[in-house]
């Protein structure tokens, strides 16, 4: 059963709403940051009944005497911004996001945020959320970190339900791994993902994600080893993702292509006429 809203940290509340996200997730989490001035994270849901519930939640905060500052989108994917236009209009709030997100959505972005900026929110005590540009899953992906709370809004960098897709085009596997290490170095005590429950001791999970991706990368290289004429995507997929159910091979292929792009950029894999071969490095 989904409980909403519910407090998850001092001056932070969670409101999950149904969205067309990838299974096994069914909801995208929105968050209210601040106890006097409030920033609303992830205007996500496209469903009218869920949008009404979301607006009632936001208006309830106003009825408590709190000032809503803005809507904030971690990145441009549909299950994070599908409600942005309607929610911004109905609540008369601006939308904030990275410039790469602003370039990919139709809803006007009133303020583009950059790495290192701070968002101060008045309250007792006040909060100061540091903006972190964390591309890898999406070019304009942003996280937010509040050092005094040791609380980290992570969007789609990790999840506590399902996994994170790094897809060619939007995704960059090498950058994603670098940003996970950056997030791990913050030593946050709580991470707030877009999908699933809040995560205690998140640095361990960030590093688990890194190990998992590098382990998969080794399987990709093993699948290429000893091939005289290179291997096709499907041949690599069947070997490197032998532990993945066939029903998920479509998603697995996107992840595989992201791994191959990374390995090509590092000079460890070569592609010729749609076939891939190892360049000998591990």
Strand ranges for 134-239 from DSSP E: 142-146, 151-155, 190-193, 199-200
pLDDT in tens, 223-274: 998 777 899 999 999 999 999 999 999 999 999 999 999 999 999 999 999 9
- What span, in angstroms and rounded, lies between the C-alpha atoms of 162 and 82? 21
pLDDT in tens, 18-41: 999 998 999 999 999 999 999 999
Task: At 191, list the tokens.
Answer: 């991470």
Fold type of domain 6-200: Metallo-beta-lactamase; Chain A (3.60.15)
Q: Enter the pTM of the model.
A: 0.95
Whether the pLDDT of residue 119 is over 90: the answer is yes
- CATH number 1.10.10.10 given to 216-278: yes
**The pLDDT of residue 2:** 67
Whether the pLDDT of residue 65 is over 70: the answer is yes
pLDDT in tens, 44-56: 999 999 999 999 9
Whether the pLDDT of residue 161 is over 70: the answer is yes
Whether the pLDDT of residue 132 is over 70: the answer is yes
**CA-angle at 131, arms to 147 and 65, nearest 5°:** 75
Distances (CA, A) of 280 to 119, 213, 274: 47, 20, 19
What is the DSSP code (8-state) at residue 233? Answer: H
Q: Are 90 and 107 in contact, with CB atoms under 8 Å apart?
A: no
Least confident of 27-31, 180-184, 241-245, 277-281: 277-281
Distances (CA, A) of 212 to 45, 131, 201: 30, 27, 18
**The pLDDT of residue 62:** 98
Q: Give me the residue spans of the domains in the chain.
A: 6-200, 216-278
- Closest by CA to 282, choosing from 220, 230, 240, 209, is 220
């Amino acid at each position: 059963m989904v409980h909403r809203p519910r407090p998850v940290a001092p001056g932070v509340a969670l409101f999950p709403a149904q969205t067309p996200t990838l299974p096994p997730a069914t909801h995208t989490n929105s968050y209210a940051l601040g106890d006097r001035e409030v920033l609303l994270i992830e205007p996500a849901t496209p469903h009218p009944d869920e949008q009404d519930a979301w607006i009632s939640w936001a208006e309830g905060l106003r009825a408590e005497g709190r000032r809503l500052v803005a809507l904030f989108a971690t990145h441009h994917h549909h299950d994070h911004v599908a409600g942005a236009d309607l929610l911004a209009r109905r609540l008369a709030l601006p939308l904030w996001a990275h410039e790469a997100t602003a370039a990919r959505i139709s809803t006007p972005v009133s303020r583009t945020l950059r790495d290192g900026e701070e968002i101060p929110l008045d309250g007792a005590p006040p909060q100061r959320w540091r903006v972190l540009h964390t591309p890898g899953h999406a070019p304009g992906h942003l996280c937010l970190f509040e050092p005094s709370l040791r609380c980290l809004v992570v969007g789609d960098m990790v999840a506590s339900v399902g996994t994170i897709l790094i897809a060619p085009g939007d995704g960059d596997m090498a950058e994603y791994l670098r940003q996970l290490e950056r997030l791990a170095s913050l030593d946050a005590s709580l991470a707030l993902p877009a999908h699933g429950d809040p995560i205690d001791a998140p640095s361990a999970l960030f590093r688990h994600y890194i190990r998992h991706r590098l382990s998969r990368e080794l399987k990709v290289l093993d699948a290429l080893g000893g091939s005289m004429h290179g291997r096709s995507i499907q041949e690599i997929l069947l070997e490197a993702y032998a532990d993945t159910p066939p029903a998920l091979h479509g998603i697995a292929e996107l992840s595989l292509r992201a791994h191959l792009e990374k390995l090509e950029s590092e000079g460890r894999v070569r592609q010729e006429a749609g076939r891939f071969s190892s360049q000998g490095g591990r």
